[in-house]
Amino acid sequence: MKQSFAKLINISIDKEYDKLLLEISDIITQQDYKRALEICNLKTEITKGLADKYLVPGYLDFAERLIKKDAVLRNKLKESHFERIERGVQVLEVH
């Protein structure tokens, strides 16, 4: 137990910080918005701040209008993010 605990506290904060900065830099360089949302717990700040500034002013409204107008996009979003929910609803309807 002592060894396991020692491993937990034997973390180089500077090394982890540098690793995270490198990942963030890579995300910015590649403009990988999806990956940014995966690692960031400040999603509102990204969608309302950075997306408005660097992608499209009024990004959330723009995205909502785009999703409402584009059936193909709606289906892609359903498949990639809501497939499990949809299957769960179907299972509930059967029972």
DSSP string, 16-32: HHHHHHHHHHHHHHHT-
pLDDT at 86 over 70: no
Say how many domains are in the chain: 1
Q: How far apart are CA 83 and CA 4, in angstroms?
A: 39
Cα dihedral 16/13/31/81 (nearest 10): 70
Q: Within a domain: residue 95?
A: no
Question: How many angstroms separate the CA atoms of 17 and 25, rounded?
Answer: 12
Reduce the DSSP state of residue 32 to 3 states and report it: coil
Has residue 57 been placed in a domain?
A: yes
Reduced to 3 states (helix: H, G, I; strand: E, B; else coil), residue 89 is: helix
For residue 10, how many C-alpha atoms fall within 13 Å in the half-sphere facing its CB? Answer: 6
Query: Residue 69 falls within a domain, yes or no?
Result: yes
Query: 65 lies in a domain?
Result: yes
Q: Tell me, yes or no, whether 17 lies in a domain.
A: yes
Q: Radius of gyration of the chain from Cα atoms?
A: 20
Query: pLDDT digit string (tens) for 31-47?
Result: 887 788 788 878 788 77
pLDDT tens per residue across span 59-81: 889 989 999 999 999 988 888 87
Boundaries of domain holding 67: 2-87
Residue 6 is assigned to a structural domain of this protein: yes
